[in-house]
Structure 1
Amino acid sequence: MNLLVFIMLATLSVAHAAPLLICAFNGYIFGQAKMDKPDAVDILVEMVQRYDIFMIQEIRDSAQTALPELVDKVNEVSSVRYDFVVSERTGRTSSKEQYGYIYKTNKVKVLSEYQYKDDQNDIFEREPFSVQFERIDGQGNQKLFSYISIHAKPDDAVAEIDALDDVYDDVAAKYGEDALIGGDFNADCNYVCKTCWQQIDMWNDPRFTWLIGSDVDTTVSSTDCAYDRLVVAGDSMTRNSGSGSVFRFDLAYGLSYEETKAVSDHYPVEFNLYLPLEIDSNRNDFEQRQNLCLSLSLAIGKSMNRWVFVTLLATFSEAHAYPLLIGAFNVQIFGQSKMNKPDVVNILIKMVLRYDILMIQEIRDSTQTALPELVDKVNQLSWIRYNFVVSKRSGRTSSKEQYGYIYRSSRIRVINEYQYPDTDNDVFEREPYSVQFERIDGQGYQTKFNYIAIHTKPDDAVAEIDALDDVYDDVAAKYGEDALIGGDFNADCNYVCKTCWQQIDMWTDPRFTWLIGSDVDTTVSSTDCAYDRLVVAGFSMTYYSSLGSVFRFDLAYGLNSYETKAVSDHYPVEFYLY
């Protein structure tokens, strides 16, 4: 291999890595009194697991046991280990507070901690605390950033926010310019007047980008105040940060006002930190990137691995747009019987809210009311409207099924639907169903794509999977080559033997990239079978798709085996589309 090509390949990594989801949350007098409320703790445990880094303020706990106890409870139910770091206790009165960071240890590690020295001017009631994180999961190029936390004293909010640029300068001199400043700034309503913003250096300094503006409400009560903020600085940090938003945990978890206030009087503010590789700005044209990779492919030879090719392309993107999280889920006999189980419905609602598109298989409901009812329940709790589209009922017996897609209507819309006509050969028990989506949120790179759903008959799995390339060709001829094929393929264990894969055209055809391989377990039971799969095709679709993974909703939501199986005997499979 040419030495130059080898060096280029060796230094490249996948640029469309999954982002870090980071938040700031005022825990409202978080201490032992709150930890003695099991319902509030359950919500906090669930919230922590949503994030890669969860920064909590207003820790008031002289014993300093509440935060370690919370992290222990998270680790009891999480498949991913969390750790924490906490500041000194600060404050001018006996009511002192701490800042705490809870983080996924498989994603990031702490390099440095720093409590800002405010001895000279004593501007801050609670001196900002900074933690330098390093990303350790081998994804992305921006590995280091600082996270500066602040909980401003309400009556001194203008002065404290104004002084945050000095805090940033101090931290940047020690640990580098890429930084996030987050927390309860008390930056609105009675504490920061509209004309006061002109006095605040950080508001007017072009080095700082405010991810949370003044037009959002971060409070639980009837007030409409943007107290909580996220601000980024540093060229790389700014470029790789998604827009900020408020996480309405009351809607996500179906809480009453009283249940919500028992957790906090603030909502978390959050954003995605994307970690693409930096490239020469003269090479940001897609065709130039494609040609460069094709040239490298020719330099290496025709045997170039498909994933190496995709990796090369990914390194020359600026994929920090907000991605779509897309799932495929066999809900196991989904119908009115399941909708009559409130605990099951609550889990399904949480799962739908996780995704931008969730494709459901095995809808067995002759009344065709279960899916609309589920979407209605989701919309009752979500401030983002969801819509759905559903296939015809199909199947050779009276036990017919449908495929359904639930999607966020603020981000995407349906352009076309198509049920594959299998009249000639009758290969499929349940004919694949395809929906063409268009992205309408103005973000991302893959603006149109087809999503083909399949639930194979177990005993005919090899033949049905083998015929999926014909389904793809039919859909591609009508709506374009960029497509996702997802669902319960029954593609493992007793239904597809190891030697059978060579008979399956879609497995050996280089046009298709399998995001879920044969080495994962997508089943809830004690079996270890990769039944559920995600496959992408089309140059652009392949380029902008992350690797797939399994969502262990039992671990995420703290369910026992019985509660999990009541929802389904499968886990969803998912991936990010940039």
Structure 2
Amino acid sequence: MKRPVLAIFVACLLMFAGQASAQAYLRVVSWNMLHAGWSGQQDWNGYARQIWNNYGSAAGAANGVDLVFGQEVMYAESAASVASALTAVSGFTWDYRVTEAIGRSSYKERYAVFFRTDRVQLLSSTVWTDTGDKFEREPQIVKVRHIQTGADYTFINWHTVFGTTAERQAEIQQIASVFNAIQNGSSSDQDVILVGDHNREATSPWWTTLTAVSPAVSWRVNELTSINASCAFASRYDHFWMQNNHVTEYSTSGRDYIADMCAFRNGLSDHAPIYISFYSTADTD
């Protein structure tokens, strides 16, 4: 094959490869990992197998996930261990970022984000500056780029205080100010998604300050996710929140599959992971 013809052939292959890779799903999990790192909560391979093998609502769902947001990660070493286990279980390289320990009292937790390095580029991971000390655990703010499509997303990873009823209500009514500030703070990335364990059902009137944000903010996933001592689902605490006008990439969401409720409850967590997927062909912002 002559060189000019070969060059054209190679260029066409690259063009078609680029077109094929530009259509892809970004698969995301949010999970309260129940004191990951404390005694009895160190089954790193168990965490990884749940994340990788049981993504989706059914046993037959396709394996694999790209991005994971963890709450109740107790030590920096816990996050490192989960990332290492994900690499081993999945066969792909995972990286992570973990916050400092956060909390007003001697009891503190960390947030963590885990990501496949071939699918997700981490742009930044910071902790919200909590002026006025409105939150027991100020949220983690994570900006990512989906490598296959170039689509950017900003996630607010938040574990709401349980505390008293009044304390929970006050925090939930304040989260709208964080969402607004993040959404208004960037002209290049309007796709903002609030994730986490929010200790309140999504249909509660407490969320009216968030749902009143313009464009309208609405929830995805309001299934029973917390698990009681009898190994039964109990409360609707874990959600995703987003603006449909901006997050046009939304595809599906739900509660991840759990094969054995008692083994899960006694060995991994008292919350089921929740999942969401986004489909894009390019950055829409």
TM-score, structure 1 length as denominator?
0.39
The residue number in structure 1 matching 2:181 is: 474
Q: 2:224 matched to which residue of 1?
A: 521
C-alpha displacement of 1:382: 3.2
Q: Which residue of 2 aligns with 1:568?
A: 269
For the 8 Å contact 2:94–2:117, the answer to whether it is kept is yes
AA of the residue aligned to 1:435 = V
1:449 & 1:397 partners in 2: Cα distance? 32
1:350 aligns with 2:49: yes
The residue identity in structure 1 corresponding to 2:227 is V
Unaligned stretches of 5+ residues in structure 2: 1-18, 53-63, 280-285
* Compared CA separation, residues 482 and 503, structure 1 to 2 (3 A): closer
Alignment of 1:181-330 (within 5 A): 321-330=23-32
Q: % of aligned pairs identical?
A: 21
Supply the AA of the counterpart residue of 1:447: A
**Change in CA separation of 1:575 and 1:357 when aligned onto 2, cut-off 3 Å:** same
Q: Is residue 118 of structure 2 the alignment partner of residue 416 of structure 1?
A: no
Q: CA deviation at 1:402?
A: 0.8
3-state DSSP of counterpart to 2:24: coil
Using the alignment, how far apart are the partners of 2:30 and 2:264 within structure 1? 20
Partner of 2:37: 335
Alignment of 1:48-127 (within 5 A): none
Instruction: Return the match for 1:395 from 89, 103, 107.
Output: 103
Q: Is the 8 A contact 1:491 1:531 kept in 2?
A: yes
SS of the residue aligned with 2:250?
coil
Q: Aligned to 1:465, what secondary structure does the other structure show?
A: helix
- 2:69 is the alignment partner of 1:359: yes
Report the Cα distance in structure 2 between the residues aligned to 1:512 and 1:476, rounded to whole angstroms. Answer: 11
Residues 538 and 437 of structure 1: CA distance in aligned 2, closer, same or farther (over 3 Å): farther
Deviations 1:302-361 (A, max 9, x none): xxxxxxxxxxxxxxxxxx922111110001111152454xxx333211133332111010
Which residue does the alignment assign to 1:370? 78
Residue aligning to 1:491:
200
> Are 1:535 and 2:241 an aligned pair?
yes
SS in 2 for 1:504: helix
Match of 1:433 among 140, 147, 172: 140
C-alpha root-mean-square deviation of aligned residues, in Å? 2.4
Q: Displacement, 1:482?
A: 1.2
Give the conservation status (yes or no) of the 8 Å contact 2:49–2:89.
Answer: no
Q: Any idea what SS the aligned residue of 2:118 has?
A: coil
Runs of 4+ in structure 1 displaced over 4 angstroms? Answer: none
Contact 2:128 2:140 in 1 (8 A): yes
Name the CA distance, whole Å, in 2 between partners of 1:413 and 1:476. 20
CA contact (8 A) 1:522 1:529 kept: yes
Write the distance in 2 (CA, Å) between the matches of 1:540 and 1:423.
27
1:448-484 deviations in Å (ceiling 9; x for gaps) = 0101100001232222122111111222233432111
Counterpart contact for 1:427–1:464, Cα < 8 Å: yes
Q: 1:471 to 1:574 in 2, by over 3 A?
A: same
Q: Given that residues 45 and 82 in structure 2 are in contact (C-alpha distance below 8 angstroms), is that contact kept between their aligned partners in structure 1?
A: no
CA contact (8 A) 1:450 1:483 kept: yes
**Letter aligned with residue 24 of structure 2:** Y
Distance in 2, Cα, partners of 1:440 & 1:547? 20
Question: Which stretches in structure 1 are left out of the alignment for 5+ residues?
Answer: 1-238, 244-319
For 1:544, the equivalent position in structure 2 comes to 249
Q: Is this contact kept in 1: 2:45–2:89, CA < 8 A?
A: no
* AA aligned opposite 1:395: G
| Cα distance change on mapping 1:563 and 1:522 into 2, 3 Å | closer
> Structure 1 residues 378, 548: CA separation in 2 closer, same or farther (over 3 Å shift)?
closer
1:380 corresponds in structure 2 to: 88
Contact 1:329–1:360 (CA<8 Å) still a contact in 2? yes
Residues 403 and 409 (structure 1), Cα distance of their counterparts in 2 relative to 1, 3 Å cut: same
CA contact 2:102–2:110 (8 Å) conserved in 1: yes
Give the structure 1 partner of residue 12 of structure 2: none
Given residue 113 of structure 2, which amino acid in structure 1 is its aligned partner? Y
Query: How far off is 1:548 after superposition?
Result: 2.2
For residues 467 and 560 of structure 1, the distance between their equivalents in structure 2, rounded to whole angstroms, comes to: 34
Matched, 1:506 2:210: yes
Secondary structure of the residue aligned to 2:251 is coil
Higher relative contact order (CA 8 A, sep 6+): 2
In 2, Cα distance between equivalents of 1:454 and 1:516: 15
Quote the Cα distance in structure 2 between the aligned partners of 1:560 and 1:515.
23
Cα shift at 1:538: 6.5
* SS of residue in 2 equivalent to 1:337: coil
